Structure 1
Amino acid sequence: MIRTGRADLSFDGIRTEFGLRAAFPPDALAEAEEAVSRPVGDRADLTSIPFVTIDPPGAKDLDQALHLERTASGFVVHYAIADLGLFVTPGGALDAEVRRRGQTMYLPDGNVPLHPTVLSEGAASLLPGVVRPAVVWTFTCSSEGVPTAVEVRRALVRSTAQFDYESVQKTFDAGDPHPSVAALAEFGPLRRALALERGAIELQLPEQEIESDGDGWKLVTRPRASVDSWNAEISLMTGMAAASIMLEARAGILRTLPDPDDAAVGSLRKSAAALGVPWPADLSPGAFLAGLDASTPEALALFTDATRLLRGAGYSAFNGSVPEVVTHAGVAAPYTHVTAPLRRLVDRFATEVCLAVSAGQELPSWLAEALPLLPSLMGASDSLASKVERASLDQVEAWVLTGRVGQEFEAVVMRSGDNEAEVFIASPPVLAKCAGSHLPEGERIHVRLTEADPATHRVRFTAV
């Protein structure tokens, strides 16, 4: 935790380092402002459905709104997604600029948005109490949570309330959830069970978050709430349905991840054995990881090791023939991005594919021409976003630890190498490199802080 003036603690250096520009070119901004008053066209009126949104506190770029209903035979899920296709003209100045950006870049002291805020926090955002154009996915599901019918269409919707994960979790814990999401407590676990049956792999590594702390910043870690996990299953179900539509039409763009090879699984099994964590031979990696207690040091080390199972993620565009790899190993099914178009470029194009196919129409030429360009655009954007996030965390870690060089901390060894390891310190929550030979993975050790340099945002420890 740090207590110096906020002017000294901005992230402008990271913006400069990575060439992040918040301002939009005048022609792109003018297009966005003009699009606000654009006619919504002929679309279904679903404003009678009491949608709600669940997002981080204070969020204004609201991509998704949700409504679940328990029926006699199963569930009906309505999932409304912001309709950027209405606001972005293909081939226009705004389209060119959002292609350059790729996605919203999140920094603690302000975002660098994919779209101008007049859209992302205004006319296109599914804010509560106002009618908004949206793309609505409707799932009719069995009592086991399996979709038996899927419909996607343009519609008008109205969110009735804006919630955050913590407050919604509290309503479930108190036994009084909002009626629009009450069925999540049953539907979410059903979907998660189906994911484990497929062999999906989910890592429960501690997530570092940066929070404002008066005149400075602090690092926190948050365990994933059940509501967060349940809500994520709705998004995953939608991405899987969209992928199925694309594969049937032999046109679209998938988010792919090769299955882990035998060597990676074998290495993880050896790590589990070395840590004394039983792994039955007939249990898949995903089921094994899901059964671990995420609070234990052994689990932290295994989750870190398991990142080797999820390497090689990419995007695969196709039109006319199906690519060789169509599945995502983390999901254990074909999957694509369609649920965050305000914040991620590819979702708008993937959504337009699904709408065209579902309507029995040919892909418009601008869409067919854009598909093969998206993998490289998104690959570069994902890489940049990862670097920006890591640099922001490194910067705050250095600020938080300034003045504590020479102090000792208790740490968990996450991953060990010949001369260096990756360690996690719980207080303050820091993930950093530590000098030391063949440190025992999964064990608690003492480390000494040897470097905390805000200028280079470097933090280093040495095993004691």
Structure 2
Amino acid sequence: MASSRVVRVRPVPEGTDDLLREGVRRLQAELEVTPAFPAEVDEAARRAAAAPRLPDLDRTDVPFVTIDPPGARDLDQAVHLERDPQDPSGYVVRYAIADVAALVAPGDPVDVEARRRGETLYGADSKVPLHPPVLSEDAASLLPDRVRPALLWTIRVDASGEGTDVTVERALVRSRRQLTYDEVQAAVDDGTADEPLRLLREVGELRLTREAARGGVSLPLPEQEVDVAGDTWSLSFRRQLPAEQWNAQVSLLTGFGAASLMVYARVGLLRTLPPADPRDVRRLHRTARALGIDWPAEMLYPDFIRGLDPSVPAEAAMVVACTRLLRGSGYVAFDGEVPADPDHAALASEYAHVTAPLRRLGDRFAGEVCVALCAGGPVPGWVLEALPDLPVALKRSGQLSRRYENAVLDLVEAGLLSHRVGEVFDAVVVEVEDDDPTTGTVTVADPAVEARVTGAGPLPLGEQVQVRLVEASVADRRVRFEPR
């Protein structure tokens, strides 16, 4: 599986672009979602954009930058790092997060609609936003050279990468540049990066080392992406750049700090994941043996997963099999009593989502709890009233998000392959059904497709095979192969 490089498929055949866009419209109607907002919500958003509630503290002196995919407009986070003047061996991480509450008042039409939506849905060029674009892509977004209200997190990190102190307060900020991950990576690699970006690498790598020591785990799954440029649609598999991992570690560091504040105060909203079921771990040991991958009995599963290389066919299948360990994530709200199981097992720590309030509803509420706690004041009543209902609402919106994203991928795969039924492709069997070894999943490198495969006999998990495309239905969003 060529997961370490970007694979572009050929442009779609003439007329397929219209079919795909119509397919997306049908999907949105089927799921009852739409990019459009009711007129009263749009009007409330325009009024809010014209009259944000601005804080007194001005930190526009800090030269923040944002780091996002190319073309992003809903910029939740801006970052700056420096050496700690109180401890030159340590660091000061400043993370500015878009202050949605500065523009969205409790109970106003934008708030009501955001609570109904739950999160932004992504799929090709068919984004269904949580907030109207006049807010999420303009007035609340941390766009370069715009003064914006933000929740400013200040986190001190020692020489080992451990966070030692965290505070958050409202402040005005101004991002200097909107960078892409490729730009950050290139600047660090060729030595032209300024000190904050060099320190981002230092802190990111320290935090990755601490993650490994803590027993945290993240699966090295390549991402399947849909790109749309005019009437050209393409699919790609891509692996994260180191710069993305460094930036993600700053977000995780902030989430750990937020969780510690809320657990100490016994009020808040945590992101949780139960521990891996020992039966699943034993099953994965058997899968590793079947694939010929060495997994010493004394090696913990996070260390084993960390060493897998998804560019190796057998190890790609192993990575897919390991996804069963990361199922069951959710949210838990509390006020007065810390939950019995507050940890996120994959992160081996208590954790909270607070860094993407433009795209996730819960982040706004968790951020407000932390601001109040750091200010020494009471948590706002509107936040406390909402907390009990948030876990169910966020679970529902998360399920919808996954369903939408997967359906768009299925649609695009079918559209790109609709003219190639009968062709033979090189593939890797990455999953086999437990109760039916003749059915499973293959990944095809060119084009970058994951799809069902059904054979007459047991499928060879983790092996390279040739498969024939037997179905590619745009109407049903279905692609199916069979072994050659």
Shorter-chain TM-score range: over 0.9
Q: CA deviation at 1:117?
A: 1.0
1:26-175 to structure 2, matched below 5 A, reads 26-71=39-84, 72-175=88-191
Give TM-score, length-normalised by structure 2: 0.93
Structure 1 residues 398-449: Cα deviation after superposition (integer angstroms, max 9, x where no partner): 0111121111111111111223011111111110110024312211111111
Work out the CA distance in 2 between the residues paired with 1:272 and 1:189.
29
Task: Answer with 172-181 or 80-89: which moved more.
Answer: 172-181
- Residue 283 of structure 1, aligned match among 299, 310, 318: 299
User: What SS does the corresponding residue of 2:196 show, helix, strand or coil?
Assistant: coil
Report the residue type matching 2:101 in the other structure.
G
User: What SS does the corresponding residue of 1:35 show, helix, strand or coil?
Assistant: helix
Percent of aligned positions that are identical: 48
Work out the CA distance in 1 between the residues paired with 2:232 and 2:357.
32
Matched, 1:451 2:467: no
Matched, 1:301 2:312: no
Aligned residue for 2:388?
372
Aligned residue for 1:432?
451
Q: CA deviation at 1:3?
A: 3.1
Report the residue type matching 1:70 in the other structure.
R
Aligned residue for 2:5?
none
Report the residue type matching 2:19 in the other structure.
D
User: What SS does the corresponding residue of 2:450 show, helix, strand or coil?
Assistant: strand
Matched, 1:23 2:36: yes
- Does structure 1 retain, via aligned residues, the 8 Å contact 2:205–2:246? yes
1:309-320 to structure 2, matched below 5 A, reads 309-320=325-336
Structure 1, unmatched stretches of 5+, are: none
Call closer, same or farther: CA 1:427–1:39 in 2, change over 3 Å: closer
Q: CA deviation at 1:16?
A: 1.4
Matched, 1:422 2:432: no
- Does structure 1 retain, via aligned residues, the 8 Å contact 2:220–2:309? no
1:379-398 to structure 2, matched below 5 A, reads 379-398=395-414
Aligned residue for 1:189?
205
Structure 1 residues 376-403: Cα deviation after superposition (integer angstroms, max 9, x where no partner): 1111111111011001110110011112
- Does structure 2 retain, via aligned residues, the 8 Å contact 1:66–1:181? no
Report the residue type matching 2:127 in the other structure.
N
Work out the CA distance in 1 between the residues paired with 2:250 and 2:304.
23
- Does structure 1 retain, via aligned residues, the 8 Å contact 2:308–2:319? no
- Residue 209 of structure 1, aligned match among 218, 225, 238: 225
Report the residue type matching 1:386 in the other structure.
R
Give TM-score, length-normalised by structure 1: 0.97
Q: How many residues align?
A: 464
Report the residue type matching 1:238 in the other structure.
T
- Does structure 1 retain, via aligned residues, the 8 Å contact 2:123–2:409? no
Task: Answer with 383-392 or 2-11: which moved more.
Answer: 2-11
User: What SS does the corresponding residue of 1:212 show, helix, strand or coil?
Assistant: strand
Report the residue type matching 1:102 in the other structure.
G
Q: CA deviation at 1:39?
A: 5.0
Aligned residue for 1:3?
13
- Does structure 2 retain, via aligned residues, the 8 Å contact 1:50–1:180? no
Q: RMSD of the TM alignment (CA)?
A: 1.4
Work out the CA distance in 2 between the residues paired with 1:116 and 1:103.
12
Work out the CA distance in 2 between the residues paired with 1:118 and 1:308.
39
Structure number with greater CO (CA < 8 Å, separation at least 6) is 2
Q: CA deviation at 1:249?
A: 0.9
Work out the CA distance in 2 between the residues paired with 1:172 and 1:275.
38
- Does structure 2 retain, via aligned residues, the 8 Å contact 1:3–1:215? no
Aligned residue for 1:350?
366
User: What SS does the corresponding residue of 2:386 show, helix, strand or coil?
Assistant: helix
Structure 1 residues 2-55: Cα deviation after superposition (integer angstroms, max 9, x where no partner): 132433331212211211122222222222111123353443211111100001
Aligned residue for 1:231?
247
Structure 1 residues 76-113: Cα deviation after superposition (integer angstroms, max 9, x where no partner): 10000000011111122211100011111112223211
Aligned residue for 2:483?
463
- Does structure 2 retain, via aligned residues, the 8 Å contact 1:51–1:180? no
Aligned residue for 1:13?
26
Aligned residue for 1:402?
418
Report the residue type matching 1:332 in the other structure.
A
Structure 1 residues 263-287: Cα deviation after superposition (integer angstroms, max 9, x where no partner): 1111111211222222233322112
- Does structure 2 retain, via aligned residues, the 8 Å contact 1:9–1:216? no
- Does structure 2 retain, via aligned residues, the 8 Å contact 1:75–1:140? yes
Matched, 1:254 2:270: yes
- Does structure 1 retain, via aligned residues, the 8 Å contact 2:80–2:93? yes
Aligned residue for 1:338?
354
User: What SS does the corresponding residue of 1:183 show, helix, strand or coil?
Assistant: helix
